[in-house]
Structure 1
Amino acid sequence: MLKRFFLYYFFCITVHLAYAQEKSFNQRYVEVSVSLIATDVQAALQVSDSLLSVAKTDEQRAKAYMLSANIYMNLGEQALAIRQVMQADEIVEASLNSMWQATTKGFLSTAFRQIGLIKAAERYINQAEEANNRTTGKETYTLTKINIFHERAMLSMARSDYETAKLHVLDAGRLIVFDHHEDKRSSLIKATNHQLLGLCYLHLDSLKEAEEMYLSSLSEIGDVESNLIPYIFRGLAEVSLGQDSLGKARMYLEKAEPYLEGSKFKELEEAVYRTYTKFYWKAGEIDGAMRYGNLLWEIRSEREKEIRKVSDALFEEMYNTKESYRDKFKITLIIGLCLAVSTIFLTLYLFFLSRTRSTHHIVAKQKDESVTSEKTEFAKRDASELREINISKETEQRLLKDIGRYEERLFFLDKDISLGVMARLLNTNQRYVSYIIKKHRGKDFYGYVQAYRIQFIIDRLKADPALLDYKLAHLAEMSGFTSLSQFSTAFKTETGLPPSAFVHFRKKELGRC
C-alpha cells in the first residue's frame, strides 16, 4: 500500500530547502517532483535527463539521479530505479554529504521493502537514521526524521504489525508542525500521515477512527493531484464494508477505479481488486466476486514474477560487481607474483623449448585434426537432427490438432502419461511430439504436462471453494501427480507459491480465515 507514493516524496522533501545559488536548478526540480511526475511521467523523465546533463555540483548530480530513480519507480522499472539511486549513493558517500546520504539510504530502504527484502530495507533505514542524526540542527533534520518514521511504519505493516506501525506514525505526527504558510509538499506530508494512521486503524478494526483519518487526509490534499488519492478512496471503501454500508463502499471504489486506467501501479490495482472481491462477496454477487478474484490472482502472479525478476537482476549485478573487484585483486596479486618469479620461468621455458619443439608440433597437429574431426561430427549430427525434424506442414497441423483434442480430454491427469505414451496415442514418433510441444507450447514435454496439471487444479480451486478444505495430498492426486512432494515442487515452480500458501490466500480472499 502506498508504495509508489512514498517514492514520490520520500526523502526528497528537503529539495525546497536547498541553497540559493542553486535556485534555478531546484525550481525545475521541484516542478517535476511535485507536479509533473504525477501528471506526465514521460515528460518528467525527459526533464530529469536534462537536469543531469546540466548539473554542476555533486549535490545537483545526486538530485538528478534521485529524480530519475523516482520516475523509473513510477514507471514500474524497479531495477533501473535502484541503479539510479545507487549512482546517487556513490556520489554522496564520496562527498560525505550526510543530508543526501539519509535521502539515498531511505530510498533504498523503500525500494527493497517493495520487493520483499525486509531485512535489507531495515538495514538501509538504520543507515538513513544514522546519517540524519549527523545533520541535527539543520533545517532538513526534522522533515527527514518524519520520513524515517513513515518508512519504519511501512516496514512494520509489511510484517503485519499494525500496533507498532501506529506508534511510528504517531511519532511522526508529533513532529509535523508547520506554520500558516504551508506549501503543497507540507500538506502532502500531513495527508500521508493521516492516511497511514487511517490504514493502521483499519487493520486494528477501529473503523470510526480510520474513517476520520482518511477524510482528514483528503481534506489536506485539497485540489493537489496526488497518487495518494486512490489509496484513500480504497481505504474508505474498506471502512464502509466494515460498517456494512455497501452503497458507500461502491461509491468509493468507483472513485478509485479511474486511477487504474493506464496505471502502472500494480499494487494499487491489487488493493482495489481485493476490495472489489470482498464487496461482491458481501453483496452476494458470486460472479463479480469470482471475476475480481481472478483478476486479483493474475496481478499477484504477475507482480511475483516481476519481483523475482528484479531481485534476480539486482543480486546478479551485485554479485558480478563483487566478483569484478575480487578478480581485480587476484589479477594484481598474480601479476606481482609473476614479476617476482619471471626470471625463473623464462629460464625454464628457454631450456625446455628447444627439447620440446618437435614434440609440440606433433601434439598441435593431432589437436587440430581432433578439433576438425569434432566439428565435422557435430555438423553431421546437426544435419541429421534437422532431417529428423523435417516434418511436413500437414503432419504438424494434424498432430497439433490431435494434441489439442487430448488436452480437452485432460490427458495430462493420467499418472502414467509419458512422451512415449503420447507418441503412441498420436500414432507418431517421440521426436515429432517433442518438437511440436516445444514449438507450440514453449516447454519440453515434462514441463508442459506439469504446467497443465497445475493450471487444472488452480482452475478447480477457483471454481469450487469446497476443495480448499481438502488435504494437499488429495489435490495432488486429482491433478495427476504421484506424490505430494512432486506436486508441491511443481506448484511452486509454476506459481511462485507453495500450494499451502495458495490455499491460505484463496481462503483469505473468500473471507474464510
Structure 2
Amino acid sequence: MKLNLFFIILFVVLGAQLLKAQNSEEEKLFIEAIESRFNDPYKSLKLYDYLLKNTNTEESVAIEIKKLQLNRLLGEYEEAVAISQKIESTITNSTSTDLQFEYWRELATLYNDLNLMGEGNTVYEKALNSYNNLNLNLKKKYAIDLSLLKVKYLKPEQTESKISGLKEILDKMDDKDERKPFIQFQIAKLYYSQQNDSSRLYFNKIIRDFNVKPLSQASRTYLNLNHTDSTEYQKVVDNLFDVELEAVLLNKAIQYWSIKRNEDSLMVYEKRLQNYFFEKNQSIRNAKVSLIQGVYRKKQKDNVEKVLVRNRQLYIVIGLLGLLLLIYFGNRYFRRNRVDTKDDIDDSKGTVISDKTEEEILEKLRKFENSKLFLDKQLRIASLAKQLGTNTRYLSSVINASKNKSFNAYINSLRIQYIVDKLKSDAKYRSYKISYLAEESGFVSQSSFTTAFKEITGSTPSAYIKNISD
C-alpha cells in the first residue's frame, strides 16, 4: 500500500514538472516569435502556428492577433482579413480588455492599409474606447501602440506631423523594443520623397545599429536607388516590410531603360510593373470584398438577433397583457359573484321594514319564483330590486328573514330546484351534458353549477342523474 502511494505521488510530481517544462518551453517560443517578427517574419509565423496547436482559447486569440499583424505588414491582406473575421466573435465576447484593444487596434490599422477610411474610422473609435477601458498599468503598457495608431490615422498629406509623431514615439521607447528599427524605417521612408539627407540618416542607422535583416536589406536598396547601376533595379527583394518597394524598383528600372532607350528592357519592366499592380490590386480588392462582406454578414446577423430579441420582448409583453387581462376579468367575475353576497348581508343589517311592505315584497317574490326570471345569468340583487319596485336593502332583508339565505344562495336554490324538477320529469335531460344543464339553469360556469348542486342536493349532478336513472 505504501509502495503504491509512493508511485502515485511520484507520477503526480513528474507530471507537474513535465507540464511546467512544457509551459516554460512554450513561453520561450512565444517570446522568440515576438522577437523574430522584424528579423525573420516567416519564422515568426511558423512559431505562432506551432504554438496554436497547444493553447487555450485566450492564448490562441493573442497569437492570432500577432499573426494578423505580421500578415498585414507583409502585405498578405487576405490572410489578415481571414484571421480578423475568425476571432472577432471571440473578441466581442471576451472579458480581456487588453486583447480587445490589441484586436481593434490591428483591425483599424488593417482598414487604413486597405484605404477603407470610412469604415476604418468606426473601428478606430472602437480601439480608442477599448483603450479607455484598460486599467492604469495596461494603459501605460499600450500607450505607444495607441500613439502609433493615432499617427497611422493622420491624413496622407500630413507628412510632417507623421514624422514628428513617430520621432516622439521613438524617444519614449525602450532600447530593447523590437519595433524600434521598424519605426525608424517608416521615418526614413517618409523623408525619402522630401529630404534625401534625413532619409539616408535613418536608413544608415537601421543598417548600422540593428541586426534586422529584412529592414537592413530594404534600407540598403533605398540608399542604392540614387546610383546609376541598372542591375540594382532588376532585383526584387522578397519578405520585406515594404509592400511599395517592388513598385519603386520597377519604376526606377523603367526610368533607367527609358533614358538608355532600350525598348526591349523597357517593355520587360513595364510588363512586370503592370503585372505587379494587377496582382496587388487584385489582392487588395479581394481583401476589401472579404472584409466588407464580413461586416455586412455581421450586420445581418445583428439585425436578425435584434428582430428575435424584439419578437421575444413582444411575446413577453403580449403574454403579460394576456395574464393581466385574465387576472382582471377573473377578479372582476369573482368580485361580482361576491359583491352581491356582501351587499346582501350588509344591506340586511339593521334594516327595519313594515309588515305591509314585507308582505308586498314576499308576494312579488312568489310571482318571481313562478316566472323563471331567476334563470337569467345577468340577474343581480340590484336589477331584481328594481323589477320588484323596492331597494336592495329591503329585498336583502326580506330574503334573509323569510328564506334564511343570502341573495345568491336563494337564486342558486331556485335554479337547482328548477333543473332537479326537469331531471325528474323529463328523461331526456338526464342524457344532456353537465355543461348544458348548467347553461339551462342560468349558471355562468359548469364549476359553479356543480358546487351549488352538491351543496343543495348533497351529491354531484352526475351522481344524482345516475341515482334517479337507476
TM range (shorter): 0.5 to 0.7
Deviates more, 1:43-52 or 1:322-331: 43-52
Which residue matches 1:246?
228
SS at match of 2:213: coil
Matches within 5 A, 1:211-222: 211-222=200-211
Are 2:188 and 2:200, in contact at CA under 8 Å, matched by a contact in 1? Answer: yes
Measure, in 2, the Cα distance between the counterparts of 1:210 and 1:83. 35
Q: Which digits, 9 at most, give the CA deviation of each residue in 1:58-94, with x for residues without a partner?
A: 2x13212223434554776534423423554544554
C-alpha change, 1:21 and 1:46, in structure 2 (3 Å) is closer
Q: 2:143 aligns with which of 142, 145, 162?
A: 145
Measure, in 2, the Cα distance between the counterparts of 1:161 and 1:206. 15
Matches within 5 A, 1:177-188: 177-178=174-175, 182=176, 186=177, 188=178
1:299 has 2:296 as partner: no
Which residue matches 1:35?
36
Measure, in 1, the Cα distance between the counterparts of 2:151 and 2:220. 20
Percent identical residues: 14
Report the number of matched residues.
299
Q: Which digits, 9 at most, give the CA deviation of each residue in 1:92-139, with x for residues without a partner?
A: 55444333333212211221122211343344445434544555753x
CA drift at 1:143: 6.2
Q: Which digits, 9 at most, give the CA deviation of each residue in 1:45-65, with x for residues without a partner?
A: 56434433422362x132122
Which residue matches 2:169?
172
TM-score by length of 2: 0.53
CA drift at 1:216: 0.7
1:311 has 2:275 as partner: no
RMSD of the alignment, in Å? 3.9
Which residue matches 2:412?
none
C-alpha change, 1:62 and 1:337, in structure 2 (3 Å) is closer
Can you give the 5+ residue segments of structure 1 that lack an aligned partner in the other structure?
A: 1-19, 342-513
C-alpha change, 1:329 and 1:144, in structure 2 (3 Å) is closer
Which residue matches 1:193?
183
Which residue matches 2:60?
61
Q: 2:220 aligns with which of 229, 233, 243?
A: 233
Matches within 5 A, 1:491-502: none
Q: Which digits, 9 at most, give the CA deviation of each residue in 1:388-443, with x for residues without a partner?
A: xxxxxxxxxxxxxxxxxxxxxxxxxxxxxxxxxxxxxxxxxxxxxxxxxxxxxxxx
Matched residue type, 2:33: V
TM-score by length of 1: 0.49
Measure, in 1, the Cα distance between the counterparts of 2:265 and 2:184. 32
Which residue matches 2:160?
163
Structure with larger Rg = 2
Which residue matches 1:25?
26
Measure, in 2, the Cα distance between the counterparts of 1:278 and 1:150. 35
Are 2:67 and 2:80, in contact at CA under 8 Å, matched by a contact in 1? Answer: yes
Are 2:251 and 2:273, in contact at CA under 8 Å, matched by a contact in 1? Answer: yes
SS at match of 2:36: helix
Which residue matches 2:104?
105
Q: Which digits, 9 at most, give the CA deviation of each residue in 1:311-360, with x for residues without a partner?
A: 2222222212221232244356557778969xxxxxxxxxxxxxxxxxxx
Which residue matches 2:113?
114
Measure, in 2, the Cα distance between the counterparts of 1:331 and 1:125. 29
Q: Which digits, 9 at most, give the CA deviation of each residue in 1:129-157, with x for residues without a partner?
A: 4544555753x65664334444444444x
C-alpha change, 1:133 and 1:325, in structure 2 (3 Å) is closer
Matches within 5 A, 1:77-96: 77-88=76-87, 90-96=89-95
C-alpha change, 1:189 and 1:334, in structure 2 (3 Å) is closer
Matched residue type, 1:235: Y
Measure, in 2, the Cα distance between the counterparts of 1:46 and 1:210. 33
Q: 1:278 aligns with which of 238, 250, 255?
A: 255
Q: Which digits, 9 at most, give the CA deviation of each residue in 1:260-318, with x for residues without a partner?
A: 3x889864432332333334445555543443233222221222222222222222222
Matches within 5 A, 1:429-440: none
C-alpha change, 1:144 and 1:120, in structure 2 (3 Å) is farther
Matched residue type, 1:225: K
Measure, in 2, the Cα distance between the counterparts of 1:286 and 1:144. 53
Which residue matches 2:390?
none
Measure, in 2, the Cα distance between the counterparts of 1:102 and 1:278. 45
Are 1:150 and 1:193, in contact at CA under 8 Å, matched by a contact in 2? Answer: no
Can you give the 5+ residue segments of structure 2 that lack an aligned partner in the other structure?
A: 1-20, 320-470
